[in-house]
Every structure is written in structure tokens, then in C-alpha cells.
Amino acid sequence: MMKKKSFAKILTTATISLGLAGWAASAWAGSLEDVMKARGLTQKDLLAAAKTYTPTGGRDEFLVFSSGGQSGQVMVYGIPSMRILKYIAVFTPEPWQGYGFDDESKAVLAQGKIKGKTINFGDTHHPGITETNGDTDGEFLFINDKANPRMAVIDLKDFETKQIVVNPIMKSEHGGAFVSPNSDYVMEASQYPAPLENGYVPLSKFNEKYRGAVTYWKFDRKKGRLDPSKSFSLELPPYSQDLSDFGKGPSDGWSFTNSFCTERYIGGIEKGRPPFEAGCSQKDTDFVHMVNWKKAAELFKAGKTTMINGHPVIMMDTAVKEGILFLIPEPKSPHGVDVTPDGKFFIIAGKLDTHASVYSFAKIKALIDAKDYAGKDPYGIPILDLKKTLHTQVQVGLGPLHNQYDSKECIVYTSIYVDSQITKWNYCTGKVLDKINIHYNVGHLMAMEGDTAHPKGKYLVSLNKLAIDRFNPVGPLHPQNHQLIDISGDKMQLLYDMPVPLGEPHYAVAIQASKLKPKVRYKLGWNSREDKKSIWRTRPGREKIVKKDGVTHVYGTLIRSHITPEIIEVEEGEKVSLHFTNVERAQDETHGFAINNFNVNLSVEPGKTASFTFTADKPGVYPYYCTEFCSALHLEMQGYLLVRPKGVKASDAAVSEGQTYTKADYDKQIKNNVATQGVIDSVVGYITARNFKSFKSVVALVEDATDQLNFAADAKKKSEEFAAKGDYNNATLWAQQWFQYQVKTADIGLRAKTYLDEHGAVVNK
């Protein structure tokens, strides 16, 4: 048996090593000038560093939710520090979070099956946060999947994916997720035209049978879920619809979706025909689609829809007849459509044009009201005259893509793909104000709440497509590059390059961190994916194994540092369902759970109940353990799954172990425990002598420590009962368990003490 150090000794060693580290650092660091010289830094570099550096324990002012591209995830990072905080698993299994491994999250992923097929990948593009009056409110996040038209809902109370809905009519999608100013609807526009019905239609029928569409998903904020039964779509021509945005203020009630390839070219390079890229860029203008979505919602409620694949669709002829759909030309192969904060204008940039076009909603509305149209498209949709709708057009650079707004009036930033620049300009006066080079080939850009009614300014992030030479080479697949730019002054200033080792992040949204109110733990026994008490929850002392309907259900608990039960024995072929509740109340005391050869990892955060159902198909011995280093005795947080061959009886023979203990062992352990209690008492004394109640985190730690002390008292009692019966073997083991709870108590106590020291706690008067 390993010799255990006394707790007092551990304390002294820790103090000494801390002291040494402090001394070494000061000797090495030198002066600021020395460091600048050694690292070749300029004053400008230092200024940039000072604007982003976040000292230990510091927090960020903004949080960013970035698409994780083909990783099927969402990345969360802070601004200005650019520190990555989380990857939220959405369309793709992610073992650390147990996503796609526990039964609860498997059910969420299964919602994303298309025509019975499991799709374990998503091409995420545009995250969108719920809005109230056009401003992000931080309650929920939506993200789309371009490859397999789907929309996911993430609850920002726990940063978990709660729902995936499959678009019933689209075969490709890009213009989502865009949220209406009060989150009534989340919008999703198709990309590559295809028949809305499922099944084969030859390309020779492209003009008649292939279609685009835009879907308005109804969001039930109370339930925190999209409601397919209250959602509808609008049939659109077979153009390649692209990005979208909702109007706000004067343009509230309208949505905008632009498009490319209005040439309706169908490709065929293999037959010697010019490729798509030639056929889809011939015309000088494409169309932005304007939809009166509030009126569309009324038409849907009035039943003026056609059911396609069980989903209500407002057909184009209805839309034309009812006057809810209009087209406006837009130059040329456009990409972004971005409504200004006041809702009076929207800006569209053409990838193959050097201009950004500012459209005036007032002018558009006047034309529509006067039925002043320039013509009709082949599907009978009225087209407005481009010139009559424009406020202004501004030359911003080669290959302009997306726009974001500043807190300063009329200031907009446009990403310039070909020039690898960001252009700052004034959309009211049409003046270009500043340009900055970025590395390289920017796609989207993102300002702080820069697509809302009240942008916050300060910072801009350039989401670049290529990194090329910016980082240490890591093979042919390079990281992505997010560059942080200071936009607080007249001139933009580059602050920081952040390599992103994850998919191609298209769009990102930032929100003031203070708007987010995530919880630190779940209510005890919580099914986090359904947001309700789990039917499989259990409490400490109530753990049980129950056979029901041919399934062996194990109701277990996880707590520092043991799994209950520690031995699970089943027969070959038995169906087993494990349900573990993390019964910790402490912040950040997550436990994991993995069993050898069963392809499973659970992440069981405090309060959560997670399940894993499997068939014990092969006889054998399968160790299981906790996969999070949760405590000093984490490695001992273990157990055995024993799968008995069919027909073999369970052996009830006495457990044989490596060691038995005597009274001398018991006395030694007790002496150690009493000494440890002395240390704990002194730490407790230190804490309670100070104003610890003024620190929320410390109060939580003290609560947790009290829990551990109660467990210690329990173990102590058991130990004493066995000692009274002269069973020194069990008495010693329970005394050891008592000591383990003491160690946990002391660990928590020390954390509290450090916190108090670092946050200037004062001695009580």
C-alpha cells in the first residue's frame, strides 16, 4: 500500500514550492525594456498587447459565438482576450461533452436524421442570438447546417444543444439562422435549387420543377424550442438564394434574401459545357427578394398554403397575388445583405463588383405602394427599378462581401475578399474613411453586436479564409485566422491574430458578456437535454439496480471520489441501462464515465443525470472509471462491469482482496485523521475570521466543504461502529474513507482561502 503523506506535510510542501516559483519568475523576467528587446517588440505591439491582455482571473467584455464550419460545432471565445472558452457540440458527436454518447444527447442528434439517415456532420454557417426589440438578449442561440438543411437551438443557460429541426423541403440551405427583432421567427433560405418534393426530377425540368424557398421557423421562447407545427415556407424561383436579414424599425415585418445565379444555369462541365462559375456570373445583376413576412404569417394562418412533404408552403403565385414578394436587382453575384441598425437601409455588396449598394427602404416602400414596377421575372414576381431604390453606391474595394455596423452613426465596415482588406465607410454620405489590410481573404467580419439595433462598437473581428504564413506551420491543413481590430478611433488598428483550429468559421456574433446568465449547476437529477427532472435520477443512499421490461436499470451516483455502484454484474446478452446522477453541489465538479470497449464517455456535470444503454454482448471484465480529474483520489474513482457467460451462476464467494488490517493500522489511521482535523480547523478558522460571506464563490465553497464534513462524520461513525465490534479491517477502511472526505474538505478550504487572499478579504471586526 502506498504511504500516505499527512495533510499537514502536503500543506508545507505546497507553500515552499509556491515561494520558489515566485522567486524564479522575478529573476527571469527583467524589465519591460529587456523583454521588448529580447522579443523584438515595438511600442505599437505593446499597446496592442495592453488592449487584449487579460490578467489572471480577468473576464472578457464580450463573448463571441462563432460558427465552427464543417466541425458541426459552435466556438465560444472572449473579446478582447481572444481566449477560446468552449466548443459547443451541435450536429456532430463530441465525446468530452458526452454529446452523441449519452442517451439524452443521442436523442437530440437523432432529431437531425434525414430520410432515416444519421448525419453526423454539419456545415454550420450563421449563428443568431435571440433578440428583443432588435437587440440580442442572450437567451438562445440558433445555428444552421448548409449541407443538410437543419437548424439547431442552443440554450445559453447551459450552452447545450437542445433541438435540431430538419427542413422538410430544402435540399441545400445557406441563409439561416436569422432572427426576427422579437424572435418570433428564425429564418432559413435555401441555396442550390432542387425540387421541394423528395424524389427524382431531371435537370431538363429545372425551370419548371426546381425551386428555392425560405422557411420561417416559429420560435416558442417559453419552451425554448422551434415549433414545426407553427412554421411555414415560401416557394421561391430556382435562383441560388443566399444570405438573409430581417428588417427592423421602419422595415420591421419585411425580410430580405439575396441570390446569385439568377441565370438559372445548370452546369455540365463533363459534357464540355462551361462550368457553373461561368454560367452563374454572366448577368450584371441578380435579385434581392423582399418578403412581407408578417403578411405571409397571416396567409399561413388563413390556410393559403400547399402541403409539401407535410409542410405548409405559400406558393409563388399566391405570394404574387397577395403582394408579399418583390425582387430588386443587385450587382453582381452578391453575398451579404445587412439591414442598418435603424432599419432605414440595407447594404448589399457584390462579389464581382467593387461597389456596395445602399438601398433605401422608404424609396422601396413608396414604389411598392405606387405599384411602380420595372417588370416581372419569369415567375411573375414584380421587379423594382434598381436606380429608384438606391440611396447610394460606394466603391469599397475588390470583392466586397459582408457588412457590420458601428456604434457611431452611419459607420459601416465591409469585408473585401479579393483585396484582403476591411473598408470603413459612411453609408449616409457615401464616403470611404479608412482601409486596413488583413491576412488573408476575409469572409465575414463581426463588430460587437454589429448586426443589431444598437451596435456596441469598440472591436471588429475579421474572419479570414486563409492563414498562409501567419502561424507556425502545422501541415497542409492550416488553421483559420480571426483577427481582432480596434475600431474605437478614427483609424482601425490591428490588435491580435487568433489561429482557429476548427472548421471554417463563416459568421460569428458577439454579445455583451453581462447579458449572459448561465447557470453553474443543474437542479439535482436533471435531464439537461429535455430541461426537466430525469426519470432516471437518484440520490445518495438510494442507488439501486432494477430489472424492468427486460432491461437492467442501474440507478447510480457520482461524487468525489466514488461511483456507486462499484460492481455491476450482468449476464451475457442482457440489456443494461446505466443512469448516473452527479450529486455534487460544488461548482465545476464534473465527473466523466467511461467503460472499456463500449465506446462511451459521459459528461455528468453537477446535478445532471446521464444515461447509457447497451447490450452486454460479450462475456468479460470491463473496468469503468471517471474520466475527469475530479479530486486527489480521482484515479480510484473506478469500478467493474462483469459480464457472465450465459448460464453461469453468479458466484457469491467472499470477495478476496490484497490486504487486511489490524488494530494497530486502525489506531495509526485515527491518529492521522485527528491531526488532519486540526489542519482543517485552522483553515476554517482563517476563513470564518474574515468577511467570507461577501464573496459568493467562497460561500459556495464553504457549503461544499460543509457537505464533505458531513460525509466525513458519516464515515467516522461507521468506522467507530466496526471498531466497537472489533472488526478492525472494516473499521480501518472506513477510517480511510473518513480521511478521504477530510482531504476533500481541506482542498476546498484551501481554494476558499486562496480566493479570499486574492480578492482582498478583510478580518472581521
Task: State the residues that interact with ligand CUA by CB under 6 A.
Answer: 561, 591, 626, 628-630, 634, 637
User: Closer CB to ligand CUA, residue 168 or residue 639?
Assistant: 639
Count of CB atoms situated within 10 Å of the CB of 662: 11
Nearest to ligand CUA of 447, 637 (CB atom): 637
Question: Which are the contacts of 39, defined by CB distance < 8 A and separation ≥ 6?
Answer: none
Cell readout for 40 is 523584438
Selection from 651, 632, 654 nearest residue 642 by Cα: 651
What single string gives the DSSP state of each residue in 391-413? EEEEE--SSEEEEEE-SSTTEEE
Cβ partners under 8 Å of residue 732, min gap 6:
661, 662, 665, 666, 669, 719
Q: In whole angstroms, how close is the CB of 591 to ligand CUA at the nearest point? A: 4
Measured from the CB atom, is 630 or 709 closer to ligand CUA?
Answer: 630
- Given ligand CUK, ligand CUA, none, residue 509, with its beta carbon under 5 to 8 Å by kind, binds none
Beta carbon nearer to ligand CUK, 69 or 100: 69
How far apart are the C-alpha atoms of 716 and 689, rounded to whole Å?
Answer: 27
Nearest to 509 by CA among 377, 405, 626, 657: 405
Cβ distance to ligand CUA smaller for residue 384 or 630? 630
Site string for ligand CUK, 440-479 (x = CB under 6 A): ---xx-----------------------------------
The distance of closest approach from Cβ of residue 9 to ligand CUA in the complex, given in angstroms and rounded to an integer, is 24
What is the spatial distance between Cα 167 and Cα 517, in angstroms, rounded to a whole number? 30
* CA–CA gap between residue 57 and residue 42 (Å, rounded): 27
Per the CB < 8 A criterion, the answer to whether 559 and 566 are in contact is no
Shortest Å distance, C-beta 747 to ligand CUA: 13
Binding partner of 634, given ligand CUK, ligand CUA, none, CB within 5-8 angstroms per partner class: ligand CUA
Instruction: Kindly identify the residues of this chain, within the stretch 334-353, that bind ligand CUK according to CB under 6 A.
Output: 335
Question: What's the rounded Cα separation, in Å, for the pair 134 and 452?
Answer: 6
126 belongs to the binding site for ligand CUK (CB under 6 A): yes
Q: Which does 126 bind (CB under 5 to 8 A by kind): ligand CUK, ligand CUA, none?
A: ligand CUK
- Cβ atoms of 190 and 212 within 8 Å: the answer is yes
Of 461 and 756, nearer to ligand CUK (C-beta) is: 461
**Minimum CB distance to ligand CUK, residue 175 (Å):** 8
Residue 150 interacting with ligand CUK (CB under 6 A)? no
Instruction: From residue 287, give the alpha-carbon distance in Å to each of 187, 260, 335, 586, 601.
Output: 18, 7, 11, 56, 49
Bridge partner residues of 399 (DSSP): none
Q: CB under 8 Å to 265, separation ≥6 — which residues?
A: 276, 279, 280, 282
Residue type, 393: Q
Of residues 571 and 628, the one with the C-beta less far from ligand CUA:
628
Decide which of ligand CUK, ligand CUA, none touches 506; Cβ closer than 5 to 8 Å per partner kind. ligand CUK
Q: Beta-strand (E) ranges in 480-521?
A: 480-486, 493-500, 508-512
Q: Of 70 and 251, which CB lies nearer to ligand CUK in the complex structure?
A: 70
Q: Residue 702 binds what, of ligand CUK, ligand CUA, none (CB under 5 to 8 Å, by partner type)? A: none
The single residue among 156, 401, 422, 460 that binds ligand CUK, judged by CB under 6 A, is 401
- 141 and 156 Cβ atoms separated by less than 8 Å: yes
Minimum distance of ligand CUK from residue 336's CB (angstroms): 7
Pairing between strand 311-314 and 225-236? parallel
CB of 65 to ligand CUK, least distance (A): 14
Find the shortest distance in angstroms from Cβ 600 to ligand CUA.
15
Q: Which does 443 bind (CB under 5 to 8 A by kind): ligand CUA, ligand CUK, none?
A: ligand CUK
Residues 274 and 299 sit within 8 Å (Cβ to Cβ): no
Among ligand CUK, ligand CUA, none, residue 335 binds (CB under 5-8 Å by kind): ligand CUK
Question: Residue 703 to residues 11, 251, 686, 688, 763: CA-CA distances in angstroms?
Answer: 22, 52, 16, 13, 20
Q: How many CB atoms lie within 10 A of CB 415?
A: 31
Q: Which partner in ligand CUK, ligand CUA, none is near 637 (CB below 5 to 8 A by kind)?
A: ligand CUA
**Closer residue to ligand CUA in complex, CB, 563/670:** 563
Contact 196, 235 (CB under 8 A): yes
Torsion of CA 19, 25, 28, 30, to 10 degrees: -120
Q: Which is nearer to ligand CUK, 125 or 521 (CB)?
A: 125
Pairing assessment for the beta strands 345-350 and 382-383 based on DSSP bridges:
unpaired
3-state helix, strand, coil in the chain (%, to 5): 25, 35, 40
- The torsion of the CA quartet 81, 83, 86, 92, rounded to 10 degrees, works out to 120
Q: Does 579 bind ligand CUK (CB under 6 A)?
A: no
Residue closer to ligand CUA, measured from CB, 143 or 568 = 568
Least spacing, CB of residue 72 vs ligand CUK, in Å: 14
* C-beta pairs of 2-11 under 8 Å, 24+ apart in sequence: 4/672, 4/739, 6/672, 6/675, 6/676, 7/675, 7/676, 7/679, 7/742, 7/743, 7/746, 8/675, 8/676, 8/678, 8/679, 11/679, 11/750
Residue 628 interacting partner from ligand CUA, ligand CUK, none (CB closer than 5 to 8 Å by kind): ligand CUA
Task: Measure the CA–CA gap between 407 and 308, rounded to whole angstroms.
Answer: 43
Q: Which is nearer to ligand CUA, 261 or 630 (CB)?
A: 630
Among 125, 311, 529, 560, binds ligand CUK (CB under 6 A): 125
Cβ 189 to ligand CUK shortest distance, Å = 11
Its sign, for the CA torsion 524, 511, 401, 289, is: positive
DSSP, res 710: H
> Min. distance of Cβ 566 from ligand CUK in angstroms?
50
Q: How far is the CB of 461 from ligand CUK (least distance, A)?
A: 13
Under the criterion CB under 6 A, does residue 482 sit at the interface with ligand CUK?
A: no
Work out whether 243 is an interface residue with ligand CUK (CB under 6 A).
Answer: yes
Instruction: Give the one entry of ligand CUK, ligand CUA, none that residue 591 binds, where binding means its C-beta sits below a cut-off of 5 to 8 angstroms depending on kind.
Output: ligand CUA
Number of residues lying near ligand CUK (CB under 6 A):
11
Contact flag: residue 174 with ligand CUK (CB under 6 A): yes
CB of 150 to ligand CUK, least distance (A): 15
CB nearest ligand CUK: which residue?
Answer: 443
- Select 374 or 398, whichever has its Cβ closest to ligand CUK: 398
**Residue 125 binding target from ligand CUA, ligand CUK, none, CB below 5 to 8 Å by type:** ligand CUK
Q: What does the per-residue mask of binding to ligand CUK show for 484-523, with x meaning CB under 6 A?
A: ----------------------xx----------------
Of the pair 76, 743, the CB lying nearest ligand CUA is at: 743
**Which residues lie near ligand CUK (CB under 6 A)?**
125-126, 174, 243, 335, 401-402, 443-444, 506-507
